[in-house]
Chains A and B, each alone.
Chain A
Amino acid sequence: MSLVSVQGLSVVYEPNGAEPVPAVKAVSFDLEQGDFVGLVGESGSGKSTLGFALTGLSRPPARVSAGSIIFDGVDIAGLTPSQLRVQRHGGFAMVLQSGMNALNPVRSIRNHFFDIFAAHGHVSTRDREARAAELVGKVQLPASVLDRFSGELSGGMRQRVSIALALSLEPRLMVFDEPTTALDVLVQHAVMDTIRELQKSERFTAVLISHDLGMVLEVTERVMVMHDGLIVEDATAAEILAAPQHPYTRMLLSHYGDPRAAVVEVPGLASRGTERATDVAQAVAGGAPVGEPVESQGEPVESQGEPVETPVGEPAPSAPTAVTVRKREGRAARESIVVSGVSKVYPRPSRRDQPVTAVNDVSFTLEPGASMALVGASGSGKSTIAKLITGVEHPTSGTITFGDLRIDTIRRRQLKRLHTEVQMVFQDPYAALNPLHTVEYALTRPVLNYSSLRGRDARRRVLELLETVGLTPVEQFAARLPHQLSGGQRQRVVIARALASDPQVIIADEPVSMLDVSLRAGVLALLDSLRETWGVSMLYITHDLLSARLVTDQIMVLNKGSVVEEGRTATVLQNPQDEYTIRLLDAIPAPRSGAKGGSRHPQESSKKGLRPPATVPTSSPPATVPTSSPPATVPTSLTSPRSPS
C-alpha cells in the first residue's frame, strides 16, 4: 500500500466577499515510501496550495472542497487540528519557503528543538540535548548553533535549522515548499545537496515544490508538473527530459539552457552566440535546443484568468517596427559612463562589527550602445554599483563620470539631469508600480517631468511608449491599474517608464528574477531589442548567468565587491578562469546535461552537455566585429587597470 494516496482532491480559495477560486482541481496521485517527487509549476498553478493540503495546513480562505488524502490509512482531510497535531509525530512535516523567517528571533535554536520535544514528549528530558545535536548534525551544522539565535545565522543556516526542526518528529512525509528560492544562488545549491542526502539516508518520502523545473529534474526521481490546478504530467525525471508529453512541460523545458554552451537560445530570444560571438557560433550552428513553435508557447502560459500576456516571441516585443532608429534632437551627445577605482564602504553597523566594504576598487566603462552584465551572488556588491551609478549613493572613493557630469559627487538638484539620461528597471515589478496609480499616470509623470510635451502630445507619447514595449491595445492598457496586469506586463510598464525620459543608459537590476520562466524570455527580448533600436546602453545586473549570456556582450563577475573576471560574455562563460565564476556556473541547474545527481565538475558536466563546447576553440579572441547591427559595432572595450585572472 502506498504511503500517501490522494484521490480527486480539490482546494478552493473562498475570500470574504469575493468569488471562490479553485486552486487545485480534482488531483489524484500516490506516493510510495521513500519516493522523492518534484512538484513543478509556475506561480498560480496551485502547487503550494496542494503542498499545504497534503500536510493538513490548509487554512481559510483555502478549503479542501472535495476528495481525500489517505495518509497511512487515515484520511487527513477530515481530521481536526488536535488530531492532526498528534499525527505530525512520525507523520508529515513541511519546510516553508521562508522557513528562515519561521524561527523566533528571541529564542535560541536549542529552545526551538526543546519546544517540539516537550510538545510531543517523545524525547526524554535527559536525551534532549543529544537529540538536538544529532538533528543539526544531520543538516551539516555544528552543535554550537544550538546556542545561537536566528539573527546570528545566515539564510542558508537558518533554512537548514528549519529542515532539522521538521526532521525532529521523524516524519515519513516531508514537503519542501520552495526551500531554496529565498536563498543565494551558491547557498541554494548546498542546501539542495543537504536535502538530497538526507532523503537518501533517512528514507522519508519527500515532495519538493518548486517553480524551477531545472532544479527539480536534477534532484528528484519523479516529477509532477502542475498547471492551472491540474497535474498535467506525472513521469520520471528521465522520461520528462527525454520525451515530455504535455506542451506545457515542453514549454517549461525549452527555457533552460547552458550558458557555457557555444550557442545559447531560448524561444523568443535570438541566439546570442550566432549574432555576436561569430567565431564561435558558426562552428556549431545546429545545436540549438528544439524550441516550441512560437504560437504554442503563449497558449499554456495564459492561465488563472489573468490579463492576457503578450505571448513570448510575438512581434510585439521586437520593437523595430514601431520605432526606428531614434533621433535625439537637442540632447547631449552620447556619452559613456566611466567608473574608475570606485569603492564603497558602509560604516560598521554596530560597535562590534567591522565596516563593510561593499564595492572595492571597481573600474569599468560602459560605452554608448553597449550591454554589460554585472553578475555575482548576493552580497557581491552588484546592486551597490547600481546605486552608485544612479547617484542614489555616493562612493567612498573613486570617480564616476557621465560625460561632464560627476556622478560620484552629484547633488540632489542635479539628480534630475542625471536621470534624464540614466534610468533604472527594477527587480520586483510588483513593488515598482504604485498600486493606486494607473499605468497612464505612471508613464505620464516622467514624460511631463523630462520633456516639454504637454496635454495631448504627452498622452500621445505615453501611448507610443506602451506600443514600444508591446502592450497593445494601448488605450486599454493605459487605463489599467497595476493589479490588473500580470507580472510580465507590469515589468513592461516599468521598462516603458524607464524609457519615458529617452535615456541613454538603462540599469536593469535583476529585471526578470521575479518573473515566471515562461515570461522571462519576452522581457529579455524586449530589453535587447530596445537596446538595438533606441541605441541605449544597458547595465544588466543579475545572478543568472543564462540570461546574462542571452542579452549581454560583456560581463563582469563580482565577488565580495571586487571584480574577479571580466571580458566578453561568451568567452568568459565558456572558458571561466576564476574559481568563483566556475562556482556560479556550477550552481545553475542544467537538466539537459542529463547528469542526474552526478558530478558537477565543470569539465565533466560540459562534456555531458547536449551542445559540447569542447569542439570549439573558445579561447580564441573575437576576430571580427559583426557589421549587421549598427549599435553592436561600437567598440565595446573594457578599460580597466585590473587584469582578469
Chain B
Amino acid sequence: MTPTGTTRPTRPTTSAVKTISQGNHDAGANPLRVILRAFLTIWSVPKARIGVALLGVFVLLAVFAPLLAPYGATDNSFDRSEDMSAAHWLGTTAAGQDVLSQIIYGARVSVFVGFVAGLLSTIIAVLIGLSWGYLRGLAGDVINFIVNLFLVIPALPLMIVIAAYLQNGGIGMIVLVVVITGWAWGARVLRSQTQSLRSRDFVTAAVFSGESPARIVFREILPNMTSLIVGSFFGASTAAILAEAGLEFLGLGDSTTVSWGTMLFWAQNSNALLTGQWVLLFAPGLCISLLATSMSLINFGVDGLSNPRLREGATR
C-alpha cells in the first residue's frame, strides 16, 4: 500500500499529530497483534533492544531471587565486612550479610516499586491529563491549578516531608509518596496532546455521532496516544526507581527491608568507603543506574512507535 504521507503532496501536512496517527495506522483490531507489532517496532531499534535485554535480566533476577541468590537476604551469620572471596563474590556487609544475595533480592523492591508506582502515576496522569485536556471552563481551570501546584513544589523536599510524616511505612508508603509527587508531569504532557487531538475533525465528528464526553476521551482520543502513554509509563518508572532509592538512602524508608536504597543507606552508615569496601556502594548504585538506563533506552524505541520519522535509520 502506498504510504499516504509521502505521496500526497497536495495536502498541507503540518501537525505532528498527523504523524502520530500514521504511526498507529497499521494497528489492527486484534490487541494481541497490536502489542506484538509494538514490541517488534521497539525491538528494531538497537538502543531499545539493549534496554529490553537489561530490563529482562533485572526482572528475571527479581522473580527468581530465591533460586539465584547463594544465601538468604537477611542472613547475617557471616563474618563482618569481608572482602570479595569465592564464598562471597561481593563480600559481606558490616552486619555480616552476603552482598550479592542482597543485590539480587534488592532487585525485587526496585522492580516492584518501578512497575507499581510507574503504573499508578501513569493511570492518574491519563485520567487527569485527558479529562483536563478535553474539558474547558471552570473544571479545567481547577485541574490546571492543582497540577501546576504539584509541578511547582520541588519533588524531593515534598517526598521527604511526606515520608517523614509516614514514618517507616515500608514499600507501600514509598509507592504512595512517589505516585503523589510523580503524576503531574505526565498529566501535563498528555493534556497538551489531548488538546491538540480534540481539535481534530474526528473528535468533532464523534460529538456529531452523539458520543458522550467520556467515550470520546477514552475510545477516540486515548487510543491515538498509546505511544505517549507507554513513554510516560517508562519515564514514571524510572523516576520511581530513582526516588525509591533516594528515599531509602536518606533513611526515610523501612531500613529493615532489603533493597538497593537501604544497602546504600547501611553502607554509608558503616563508612564503607573508609574501610575500603567500595563495592558496597558501587554495586547497588550501578544496579540502580542500569535499571533506570534500561527504561530510558526502551523509550528510544517508543519514540519510533509514535512517529515513524523518529525510527532510527529512517532519515539519514
Contact = CB atoms under 8 A, between A and B. Distances in A.
Interface of A: 13, 15-18, 21, 23, 43-44, 46-49, 59-62, 97-98, 101, 177-178, 181-182, 211, 304-306, 390, 392, 415-416, 419-420, 423-424, 426-428, 430-438, 442, 445-446, 449-450, 481, 483-484, 494, 497-498, 500-501, 514
Given A177-B9, A304-B2, 16 more contacts: A13-B3, A44-B7, A61-B314, A305-B1, A390-B208, A415-B207, A424-B205, A427-B201, A431-B201, A434-B202, A435-B224, A436-B21, A437-B220, A449-B209, A501-B210, A514-B11
Given A17-B44, A181-B10, A304-B7, A446 B209 contact: yes
B210 A419 contact: yes
B49 to A, nearest CB: 15
B256 interface: no
B276 interface: no
Contacts of A182: 12
Contact of A436 (B10, B14, B24, B308): B24
A16 B313 contact: yes
Contacts of B10: 43, 97, 178, 181, 211
A21 B14 contact: no
B83 interface: no
Interface residues of B, number: 43
Q: Name the residue among A47, A49, A416, A430 with the largest chain B CB count within 10 angstroms.
A: A430
Contact of A15 (B13, B25, B224, B314): B314
Nearest to B3: A15
Contact of A60 (B44, B210, B314): B314
Q: Name the residue among B24, B206, B211, B315 with the largest chain A CB count within 10 angstroms.
A: B206
B223 A436 contact: yes
Interface of B: 1-4, 6-14, 18, 21-22, 24-29, 44, 200-202, 204-211, 220, 223-224, 308, 311, 313-316
Nearest to A209: B9
17 contacts: A13-B7, A16-B311, A43-B10, A48-B9, A60-B314, A181-B10, A211-B10, A392-B204, A419-B207, A426-B204, A434-B224, A435-B224, A446-B209, A449-B210, A450-B210, A483-B1, A514-B11
A43 B200 contact: no
Nearest to B26: A483
B12 to A, nearest CB: 5
A47 B10 CA distance: 10
A43 B14 contact: no
B8 A43 contact: yes
A635 to B, nearest CB: 29
Contacts of A433: 202, 205
A430 B4 CA distance: 10
Contacts of A18: 3
A97 B7 contact: no
B205 A306 contact: no
Nearest to B8: A43
A496 to B, nearest CB: 12
A210 B209 CA distance: 36
B210 A21 contact: no
A305 B7 CA distance: 12
A60 B1 contact: no
Contacts of A449: 209-211
Contacts of A48: 9
B228 to A, nearest CB: 14
B25 A435 contact: yes
Contacts of A21: 2-3, 7
B315 A59 contact: yes
A98 B15 CA distance: 12
A244 to B, nearest CB: 21
Contacts of A16: 44, 308, 311, 313-314
Contacts of A423: 208
A22 to B, nearest CB: 10
B25 A46 contact: no
Contacts of B316: 60
Contacts of B27: 436
Contact of A101 (B14, B25, B314, B315): B14
Contacts of B204: 392, 424, 426, 432
Nearest to B199: A431
Q: Name the residue among B2, B24, B205, B308 with the largest chain A CB count within 10 angstroms.
A: B205
